[in-house]
């Protein structure tokens, strides 16, 4: 089973971003982003959308529906 938290962490690291850097881009505290990435807190659709845009990954990839990480153009 694919967990979005694993793919979220991988996508972030593939972009050479720390949790703090991504949190800053999302305009939130590091602690809040950490709770999303560890699966302790569910994120809103708006935050999920912003993450997909910033990391340039498809929502289907993060959710485990496809192994293709790039969004369709």
- List, for residues 35-58, the tens digit of each pLDDT value: 999 999 999 999 999 999 999 999
**Secondary structure class of 53 (helix, strand, coil):** helix
Asked if the 4-63 domain carries CATH number 3.30.1370.30, the reply is: no
- Quick check: 34 pLDDT over 80? yes
- Quick check: 2 pLDDT over 80? no
- Quick check: 9 pLDDT over 70? yes
- List, for residues 55-72, the tens digit of each pLDDT value: 999 999 999 999 988 876
Cα separation values, 6 from 16, 61, 73, Å: 15, 11, 24
């Amino acid at each position: 089973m694919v967990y979005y938290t694993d793919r979220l962490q991988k996508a972030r690291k593939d972009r050479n971003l720390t949790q703090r850097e991504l949190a800053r881009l999302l305009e939130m505290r590091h602690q809040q982003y950490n709770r999303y990435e560890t699966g302790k807190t569910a994120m809103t659709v708006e935050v999920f959308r912003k993450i997909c845009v910033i990391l340039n990954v498809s929502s289907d990839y993060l959710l485990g529906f496809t192994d293709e990480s790039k969004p369709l153009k």
